[in-house]
Amino acid sequence: MHRLYLLKKVQKLLLATNNPGKFRELKEILPKKIKYFKPKDFRLREPIENGKTFKSNAKIKSLYAAKRTGLVCISDDSGLEVDALSKKPGIYSARWAGPTKNFDIAIKKVFNLLNKKKKLNSKARFICAISIAFPDGKSFEFQGKVEGYISFPARGKKGFGYDPIFIPKGEKKTFAQIGKLKKNKISHRYDAFVKIKKYFKFS
Ligand code: ITT
């Protein structure tokens, strides 16, 4: 791919997310020797995420940041799809936590809806779309996922967002219990990164 050279040489990357959990996990997964910046370092605002898919929202965020900073930018649009809720909250995963981004509220909402349907252990998956954007307006999107199921009560203090109620397939503990070493080997975010590595070589 013609961008290979650019990423091999890249020394600075802006991770276009205001979510500290995502920022931390992206940094843990991506190469160590790059210097990573946050939107706050450039006083960037949040663009309006009006895409209909994870990939389109990821693209909106990465291009917005790349055009304004002149840096190669990586964004992540992700969320939880619960089968018994017709794949909700999906792209609305952050919005279910309300303006204060309180995930106790979002988790309670998942509980109430699943409880009504008597499907508290519904199958579910996390999806992650990662977009890499260049200041000239080109971008590339990749999507990863991890299958699993919902489990109540919420358990674990590690991780973020919906991690305390998600158990990945083949495991007994929630993402919030298993810790970053394991999560970063099986997560939707890591799965998307594996796809990126097939096309781009980082230094
Ligand atoms: P940015 O747009 O600034 O990146 P955001 O939190 O608004 O931050 P999204 O719109 O992509 O990001 O929302 C995705 C939500 O899905 C996020 O707020 C998390 O709560 C949840 N989510 C995504 N990945 C997750 C993970 O690995 N573990 C738990 N929850 C996750």
The model's pLDDT over 157-173, given as tens digits with 9 standing for 90+, comes to 999 999 999 999 999 99
Q: Residue 40: how many CB atoms within 10 A of its CB? A: 8
Atom of ligand 1 nearest to the CA of 54: 11
The C-alpha atoms of residue 171 and residue 24 are separated, in whole angstroms, by 23
- pLDDT of 89-144, one tens digit each? 999 999 999 999 999 999 999 999 999 999 999 999 999 999 999 999 999 999 99
Measured distance CA(134)–CA(137) in Å, rounded? 6
In angstroms, what is the span from residue 2 Cα to ligand 1's centroid?
30
Atom 11, ligand 1: which residue's CA is nearest? 77
Q: How many domains does the chain have?
A: 1
In this predicted structure, what is the pLDDT of residue 5?
52
Residue 89 C-alpha from the chain's centroid: 14
- Report yes or no: 144 and 194 within 8 Å, Cβ to Cβ: yes
127 token code pair: 């999806």
Query: What atom of ligand 1 comes closest to residue 61's alpha carbon?
Result: 2
Q: Is 24 helix (H, G, I), strand (E, B) or coil?
A: helix
Taking the C-alpha atoms of residue 116 and residue 75, their distance in angstroms, rounded to an integer, is: 35
Greatest Cα-to-Cα distance within the chain, rounded to the nearest angstrom:
53
Q: Is 53 in the pocket of ligand 1 (CB under 6 A)?
A: no
CA 131 to chain centre: 11
The CATH number assigned to the domain holding 191 equals 3.90.950.10
Domain that holds residue 167: 3-199
Q: What is the pLDDT of residues 45-60, one digit of tens each?
A: 999 999 999 999 999 9
